[in-house]
Amino acid sequence: MKTIKKLIKYFIIVFLIQSLCFPLLSSASTKEDLAKLKSSVKSEAAIVIEATTGKIIYSKNANTIKYPASTTKILTAIIAIEECSLDDMALVSEYAVTSIPSGYTNANIQVGETLSIKDLLYALMLASANEAAVVIAEHISGSNSAFADHMNEKATQIGCKDTHFVNANGMHNKSHYTTAYDMALITQYAMKNKIFREIVSTTSYTLPATKIYPYNSRTFTNTNSLIIVNKNNVSNNYYYPYAVGVKTGYTSPAGNCLVSAANNNGLEFITVILGAKAKDVRYIDTINLFNFAFNNYSFIKLKSKNNSVTNIEVENASDDTKKLNLLINSDIIVLSNIDNRNSNVEPKITLKDNLSAPIVKGEVVGSITYEFDGDTYKADLIASSDVERKVDFIYSLCIKILIISFILLFITGILIKRKLKVKNISKKRRHLYKSKGA
């Protein structure tokens, strides 16, 4: 009986802690919930975006330069995945191990070991192993600094404007910086990769034994508490059931950082927290961001593919085909918050210049554009049927004249051909008659 009471008491305490730390925001009004969120976010910089569209749901100092710490490794990982085979083997140099100062995390990787890119990626993203980042950098670019140049090129390609990295692992350097928005862009890009998603959502991993380290003791748990139900057999108060990654980070100058992704029935949000004063703050802020996004936003379909949009009359078309029904060639799905969910959106229809017959069924004849909650959604309009050219009197008369002319020419040709044939026969007969007379 005492045991049951203790269990009940334990669950009540856990419930109260979770309720206080991560209350689900009400869905009465997006504006009201946003006001509550603004007052609750304590980190220096924060952002939440929808993963498919990239729409910013909430931001705080999102374009302010900050130190990213180990969230840097997100870019290191996606470059390695794109440019290497997971089975590629990389040699651990002395520099890769000895260049990591005391106090920075490592996976006990040994000088002279040969590890696969796959093993290094799991050590990088789960254990946040700084030496693993250097090994990957040297394997791809020859050195940590050369790889950093490659990272900066990649960040620019992704769309980052305020990011500059000088190493592959995020060890502190005044010239190594980013913003919450840029980091969200990098993560949005990386999360499109199936291998990356699988790695960052893994809870634990064991490095294989090697000749230099012949033990299977290098097992590590993901540093991201959002995806761990229990830590050391103790209930984890920061576990978030929809979380699917991504990466933690910490240095004294950077503070506590956390880049996360959460997916609920296909709706996915990405959050970035930079400069939190404590670990619990980065998790509390992240969960509040997710709760706000999931409680207030969803996808709604404004128009379905192949639905009729409008009817038009086509110039120079025949009477029985001139009325053309225009169909939309793809679904129009928009991200909407609660306040805008019942909004009546009038689309803008644009037809091709000088649109006239003939038109083939399925031909693109224009476009339709919806402006919704500050974003633009566009699709093509296609013809639902063939449209034939109108045959007017003059055109018809010309056609008839051409046909009659062609027939007359054809008949004349035949008659001329026959006349020539008869003439040739007559000549042959006269020639034959003269020959016999001679």
Helix, strand, coil content of the chain in percent (nearest 5): 40, 25, 35
Separation of alpha carbons 181 and 177, rounded Å? 12
Q: How far is CA 210 from CA 114, 116, 216, 218, in A?
A: 8, 11, 9, 11
Place of tokens 């869905």: 27
Separation of alpha carbons 331 and 301, rounded Å? 7
CB 361 within 8 A of CB 383: yes
Q: Evaluate the omega torsion of the peptide bond into residue 358 and state whether it is cis, within 30 degrees of 0.
A: yes
Separation of alpha carbons 206 and 208, rounded Å? 6
Catalytic residue flag (residue 70):
yes
Catalytic pick from 59, 128, 225, 260? 128
Catalytic residue flag (residue 405):
no
Closest alpha carbon to 275 in 104, 67, 37: 67
Alpha carbon 105 to chain centroid, angstroms: 31
Separation of alpha carbons 36 and 25, rounded Å? 8
Q: What is the dihedral sign for C-alpha 381, 385, 389, 392?
A: negative
CB 248 within 8 A of CB 37: no
Closest alpha carbon to 187 in 333, 267, 76: 76
Catalytic residue flag (residue 128):
yes
Catalytic pick from 70, 225, 260, 336? 70
Separation of alpha carbons 4 and 117, rounded Å? 49
The CA-CA-CA angle for residues 257, 240, 18, to 5°, reads 95
Separation of alpha carbons 201 and 256, rounded Å? 20
Torsion of CA 303, 305, 307, 309, to 10 degrees: 60
CB 387 within 8 A of CB 317: yes
Closest alpha carbon to 49 in 200, 187, 157: 187
Q: What is the DSSP code (8-state) at residue 356?
A: B
Catalytic pick from 73, 118, 247, 303? 73
- Catalytic amino acids? 70, 73, 128
